C-alpha cells in the first residue's frame, strides 16, 4: 500500500517575487530577481542626484566669484578659512583662493590679521614672496586670490630628515633674500617657520602668511611690543613683553630654520615653554656631526639669545657661506637687494602699489559696514596744473573756495559742513594719483551735505580711472 504525502504549504508572500530569464554565455539560463534591478536603478538615480548636486555646488562657487575664477579641489583649511585651487576664466592661469568667513573673523577679533596680511603683501613684489592678485568680497565672505604654490610647504619637503648642504643653501638664500627685501620696506614677518614657506612648481621658495606681520605704523619708540609667533621659532626677546626689533627677531627665526634644514630637528623643543627658553638662554643645543664648519659658525651667530650681538639680516645676506657655490643667476639676484641696505630710502610706488589703492586690495571697509565713506581716489594722465585748475573750477561750481596748500595740494571749503582736502602725487611716469578726502572739525563725519556724484560729474574727462571702495554684493 502506497501512501502519497502532500508537502506542507508555505505561506505566500504579500508580493510574490518576479523572475525573468536572462541569457548568459554558453547557452545557459540564469534567473534574475527583478527587485535587484529595481534596487540598482534606485542606486543609479541616487548617484545621478548626488552628481547633479555636486555640479550645482560647483556652479554656485563659480557664481560667487562672478565668473572670474572657477574653483577646483580643496587645498587646505584652517579655523576661519579654506583654500581652493582655482582657474582664471580670462587667461586660464592657476591661482589659489583663500575664502574667509567675515562674521567669524569679526567675532573672534581676527579681522585685523586679514587686514595686516593684505596691507603687507600689497607692499611687496619679490620672486620669493607669495603674490596676492586681488580681493573679492560679499557681505559674508572674503576671497583672497593669490599665487598658487603647487610644491606644498617646506615642512613636508624636509619631513624630519636632513637635506644636503647645497640644497639647504639654496632654500636659505631665497628665504634671506625675501626677508631682507621685506625689512627694507618696513615689513617684518614675525612668524617665519617651515609651514609658511611654500614651494612653487620649480622648487623655488615662497614666503607666505603675513597675518602677524608688523608694518611701520606698529612701531612705538622705534620698536615692536606685541608678543606673537610660534614658540619654537620665536626669538627669546619677543616673549619678554618688552620692546624688540622685528628684523632681529626674524633673523633668530632664520637661524632656527637653518638648524632644522641642516639637522632635521629643532634646536630647542620642549612642551614646557619655561624650560625651553631657559635652554635658549643657556644656548643648550647640540649641532650634529656632518655639518660644515662655516655653517656651524653661522648657526652660532644666528642663535644668539642677545639681539644686540646676533647677526643682522644685512650681514647675513653677505655671508660667504650663503654665497658659496650659488649659480650665476642667484648671484645676480642679490645685487638689487644690496641697494636695500639703506633703510632710509623711501620706497617708490610701483604699478602693484597703484592697483592696491583700488577696491581690489582695500579690505578696511569690509569690517565696518556702517562707516561712511569719506574718501575718493582717481588716477589721471593730465598734468598737475590741469588737474588743479579743474579741481578749482569744480569747487567754484559747488560753492567751495579753493585754498592752495602747496603745488599739488588744496583744500576746498564753503563755510558749511566738511572741508574737501585734495592731494595729487605722481605714482608713475605720466600717471598721477588724486586723493580727495572729507575732513571735519569735531563733526560726526560722513559726507552729509556733500554730493560726490556732482563732483565726479564736474571732474569729467580729467579722470583716467576711479579707485573707489566698493563691495561686491550677491
Query: Please, are residues 207 and 197 in contact by the beta-carbon 8 Å criterion?
Result: yes
Strands 375-380 and 205-207: unpaired
98 annotated as ligand-binding:
yes
* Region at 438 (left for phi over 0; alpha for psi -120 to 50; beta for the rest): beta
CB 302 within 8 A of CB 280: no
Grid cell 615642512 is found at 155
**Angstrom distance (rounded) from CA 137 to CA 105:** 14
CB 257 within 8 A of CB 172: yes
C-alpha cell recorded at residue 21: 530569464
- Residues with Cβ within 8 Å of 443's Cβ and at least 6 positions away in sequence, in order, are 417, 418
Cα separations (Å) of 225 from 45, 188, 243? 61, 13, 5
Which of 42, 45, 21 has the alpha carbon at shortest distance from 32? 21
User: Strand pairing partners for 225?
Assistant: none
Determine the Cα–Cα distance for residues 357 and 275; give it in Å rounded to an integer.
Answer: 47
Cell of 380: 589721471
- Helix, coil or strand: residue 419: strand
Nearest to 314 by CA among 225, 386, 245, 389: 245
E strands along 148-247, which residues? 197-199, 205-207
Cβ count within 10 A of residue 320: 8
State the DSSP code for 202. Answer: T
Supply the residues annotated as catalytic.
191
Give the residue from 438, 431, 439, 437 showing the smallest Cα distance to 463: 431
CB 147 within 8 A of CB 157: no
Q: Which residues are annotated as part of the binding site for ATP?
A: 98
Amino acid at each position: 500500500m502506497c501512501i502519497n504525502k502532500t508537502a506542507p504549504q508555505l505561506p505566500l508572500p504579500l508580493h510574490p517575487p518576479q523572475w525573468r530569464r536572462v541569457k548568459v554565455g554558453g547557452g545557459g539560463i540564469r534567473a534574475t530577481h527583478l527587485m535587484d534591478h529595481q534596487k540598482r536603478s534606485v542606486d543609479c538615480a541616487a548617484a545621478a542626484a548626488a552628481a547633479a548636486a555636486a555640479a550645482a555646488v560647483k556652479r554656485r562657487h563659480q557664481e560667487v566669484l562672478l565668473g572670474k575664477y572657477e574653483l577646483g579641489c580643496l587645498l587646505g583649511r584652517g579655523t576661519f578659512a579654506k583654500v581652493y585651487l582655482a582657474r582664471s576664466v580670462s587667461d586660464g592661469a592657476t591661482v589659489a583662493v583663500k575664502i574667509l568667513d567675515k562674521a567669524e573673523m569679526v567675532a573672534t577679533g581676527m579681522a585685523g590679521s586679514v587686514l595686516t596680511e593684505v596691507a603687507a603683501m600689497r607692499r611687496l613684489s619679490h620672486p620669493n614672496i607669495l603674490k596676492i592678485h586681488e580681493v573679492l568680497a560679499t557681505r559674508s565672505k572674503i576671497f583672497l586670490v593669490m599665487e598658487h604654490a603647487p610644491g606644498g610647504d617646506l615642512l613636508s619637503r624636509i619631513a624630519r630628515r636632513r637635506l644636503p648642504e647645497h640644497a639647504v643653501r639654496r632654500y636659505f638664500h631665497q628665504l634671506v633674500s625675501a626677508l631682507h627685501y621685506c625689512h627694507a620696506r618696513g615689513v617684518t614677518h614675525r612668524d617665519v617657520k617651515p609651514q609658511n614657506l611654500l614651494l612653487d612648481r620649480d622648487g623655488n621658495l615662497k614666503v607666505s602668511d603675513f597675518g602677524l606681520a608688523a608694518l611701520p605704523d606698529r612701531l612705538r619708540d622705534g620698536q615692536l611690543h606685541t608678543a606673537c609667533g610660534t614658540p619654537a621659532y620665536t626669538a627669546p626677546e619677543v616673549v619678554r613683553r618688552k620692546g624688540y626689533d622685528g628684523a632681529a627677531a626674524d633673523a633668530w627665526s632664520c637661524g632656527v630654520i637653518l638648524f632644522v634644514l641642516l639637522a632635521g630637528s629643532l634646536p630647542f623643543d620642549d612642551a614646557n615653554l619655561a624650560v625651553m627658553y631657559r635652554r635658549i638662554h643657556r644656548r643648550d643645543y647640540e649641532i650634529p656631526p656632518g655639518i660644515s664648519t662655516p655653517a656651524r659658525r653661522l648657526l652660532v651667530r644666528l642663535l644668539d639669545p642677545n639681539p644686540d650681538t646676533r647677526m643682522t639680516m644685512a650681514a647675513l645676506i653677505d655671508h660667504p657661506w650663503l654665497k658659496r657655490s650659488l649659480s650665476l643667476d642667484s648671484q645676480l639676484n642679490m645685487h638689487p637687494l644690496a641697494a636695500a641696505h639703506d633703510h632710509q630710502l623711501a620706497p617708490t610706488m610701483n604699478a602693484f602699489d597703484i592697483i592696491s589703492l583700488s577696491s581690489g586690495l582695500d579690505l578696511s571697509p569690509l569690517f565696518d559696514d556702517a562707516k561712511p565713506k569719506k574718501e575718493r581716489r582717481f588716477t589721471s594722465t593730465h598734468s598737475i596744473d590741469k588737474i588743479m585748475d579743474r579741481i578749482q573750477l569744480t569747487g567754484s561750481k559747488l560753492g567751495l573756495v579753493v585754498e592752495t596748500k602747496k603745488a599739488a595740494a588744496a583744500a576746498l571749503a564753503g563755510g558749511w559742513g566738511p572741508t574737501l582736502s585734495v592731494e595729487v602725487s605722481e605714482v608713475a611716469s605720466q600717471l598721477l594719483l588724486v586723493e580727495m578726502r572729507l575732513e571735519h572739525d569735531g563733526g560726526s563725519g560722513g559726507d552729509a551735505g556733500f554730493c560726490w556724484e556732482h563732483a565726479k560729474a564736474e571732474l569729467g574727462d580729467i579722470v583716467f580711472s576711479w579707485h573707489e571702495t566698493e563691495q561686491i554684493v550677491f
